[in-house]
């Protein structure tokens, strides 16, 4: 069986558009940060969420409003029910843990993750 001609190319094209868009978005954020005079270490909750979806979602529920599993607390329940402070979270994420793989996060990534976790605190 043959695929309709052009389908694969079209699919390839849309992936390209998406990655262009991503690159453009990243550049936009950098330019915005530069224009606003924000230091390069500014915390970005959106980037933190993306990181969480990439690195934490295999174990933790990342999205706000979702329930917790028995074994692993959802990220939202960590900041809401357990009331972990920003400082505590930063320290936790900086050090490797037995129950969690060593993720070797950069300070920037930790700042973004903590910013995302802090944003969950405010969500119902």
Number of H helices, E strands in the chain: 5, 0
Stretches 6-14, 21-29, 37-45, 70-78: which one binds ligand HEC (CB under 6 A)?
Answer: 70-78
On whether the CB atoms of residues 61 and 75 are closer than 8 A, the answer is yes
The answer to whether 102 contacts ligand HEC (rule: CB under 6 A) is no
The answer to whether 52 contacts ligand HEC (rule: CB under 6 A) is yes
Q: Could you say which DSSP state residue 5 is in?
A: T
Stretches 1-9, 19-27, 30-38, 56-64: which one binds ligand HEC (CB under 6 A)?
Answer: 56-64
Burial call 85-114: b when 16+ CB within 10 Å, e when fewer = eeeebbeebeeeeeeeeeeeeeeebbbbbb
Residue 33 or 86 having the CB closest to ligand HEC? 86
Positions touching ligand HEC (CB under 6 A) are: 52, 55-56, 58-60, 71-73, 78, 82, 84, 89, 92-93, 99-101, 103, 113
């Amino acid at each position: 069986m043959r695929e309709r001609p052009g389908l694969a190319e079209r699919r390839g094209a849309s992936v390209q558009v998406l990655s262009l868009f991503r690159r453009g978005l990243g550049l936009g954020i950098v330019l915005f940060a530069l224009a606003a005079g924000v230091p390069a270490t500014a915390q970005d909750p959106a980037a933190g969420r993306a990181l969480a979806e990439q690195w934490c979602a295999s174990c933790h529920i990342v999205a706000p409003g979702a329930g917790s599993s028995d074994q692993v607390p959802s990220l939202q329940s960590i900041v809401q029910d357990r009331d972990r402070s920003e400082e505590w979270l930063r320290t936790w994420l900086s050090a490797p843990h037995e129950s969690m793989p060593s993720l070797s996060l950069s300070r920037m990534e930790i700042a973004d993750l903590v910013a995302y976790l802090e944003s969950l605190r405010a969500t119902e």
